[in-house]
Amino acid sequence: MSDDDATVPRAGLRLLVVPGVTPTSWLRTWRDRLPHEPLTLVHVDSAEQSAALRDGRADAGLVRLPVDRDHLSAIPLYTETSVVVVPRDHLVTAAEEVTAADLADEVLLVPADDVLGWVDPPGEPSALPTPATTAEAVELVASGVGVLVVPQSLARLHHRRDLTYRPVTDAPTSQIALAWVTDDESDLIEELIGIVRGRTVNSSRGRGGGGEPAADAGAKKKGSAPARGAQDTGRTARAGSQGRPAPGRQGGPRRGGRPAGGKRSR
């Protein structure tokens, strides 16, 4: 970047996103509140997330904890379910969920970009070279040489029709957070904090105004537990597009029916 470029104010916000994170609902809320402030996604691997924020490639990021707390501030949002990826005809598919002990006889593949950091994993280490990426490890699972434990969002990201997965109840988990450089907090970052925390327009500390309450994207995330830092919304945050389907809506009016306790209004 030249000195001239540095003096020109940059419109909008650049949001770093690591693999598996799906910020669709938050992006929609941002566009509704700040239609004249573009929000640009910057995709990086989890291993690069802290460096990418520190060196200015993005203004804020949806990252996997931990991050460099010496330079970055972070708000935990939700914790993902960890799953084991296996062929569809594997024995573990007979159960709805498994434990580490159920994987004791398996060859466990751990890719170089692993985000769980399982200190004492079950099973046997693979005799093959370490897969360079999670995508490469998924290919090995499909070939029948081992199994893979990853956050559920990554299992879905690398979905194959010949593979499936089951939750591992006692495996390490991965926590998603919103992070930014501590000294660089701006009005737009404050606005983003309000959106991911589920603040309404009127309660947001940013500069967006008017409209309906923000959709709590975390509350639509499946297969995850709420992070303590996200509980001020009064709702349950869940990991994006993972886990079991949410229960059906209850108590709403029946299609074509009458309102309870009275006649059909005219």
pLDDT one-digit tens code per residue, 155-201: 999 999 999 999 999 999 999 999 999 998 899 999 999 999 999 87
Q: What is the pLDDT of residue 227?
A: 56
The percentage of the chain sitting over the pLDDT mark of 90, rounded to a whole number, equals: 70
Segment among 138-152, 155-169, 241-255 with least mean pLDDT: 241-255
Average pLDDT of every residue of the chain: 82
β-strand pairing of 82-87 with 163-167: antiparallel
Name every residue whose Cβ is closer than 8 Å to that of residue 140 and which is 6 or more positions away in sequence. Answer: 109, 126, 128, 131, 146, 148
> Where do the H-state alpha helices sit in the chain?
3-6, 24-33, 49-54, 134-142, 152-157, 187-196
β-strand pairing of 107-109 with 39-43: unpaired
Q: What is the pLDDT of residue 11?
A: 76
- The residue-averaged pLDDT of 141-157 equals 98
- The residue-averaged pLDDT of 20-29 equals 96
Answer yes or no: are the C-beta atoms of 219 and 235 closer than 8 Å: yes
Only one residue has tokens 């004791």, namely 104
- The distance of Cα 127 from the centroid of its chain, to the nearest Å, equals 32
Confidence of residue 251 (pLDDT cuts 50, 70, 90): very low
Q: What's the whole-model pTM score?
A: 0.74
pLDDT over 50 (residue 262): no
Nearest CA to 240 out of 79, 53, 42 is that of 79
Cα dihedral: 50, 55, 59, 62 (round 10): -20
Q: What is the pLDDT of residue 201?
A: 78
Distance, CA of 53 to CA of 6 (rounded, Å): 17
pLDDT over 50 (residue 230): no
Only one residue has tokens 């639509």, namely 220
Highest-confidence range of 3-7, 132-136, 208-212, by mean pLDDT?
132-136
Nearest CA to 177 out of 45, 75, 35 is that of 75
pLDDT over 70 (residue 246): no
Nearest CA to 234 out of 260, 259, 203 is that of 203
Name every residue whose Cβ is closer than 8 Å to that of residue 25 and which is 6 or more positions away in sequence. Answer: 215, 216, 217, 220
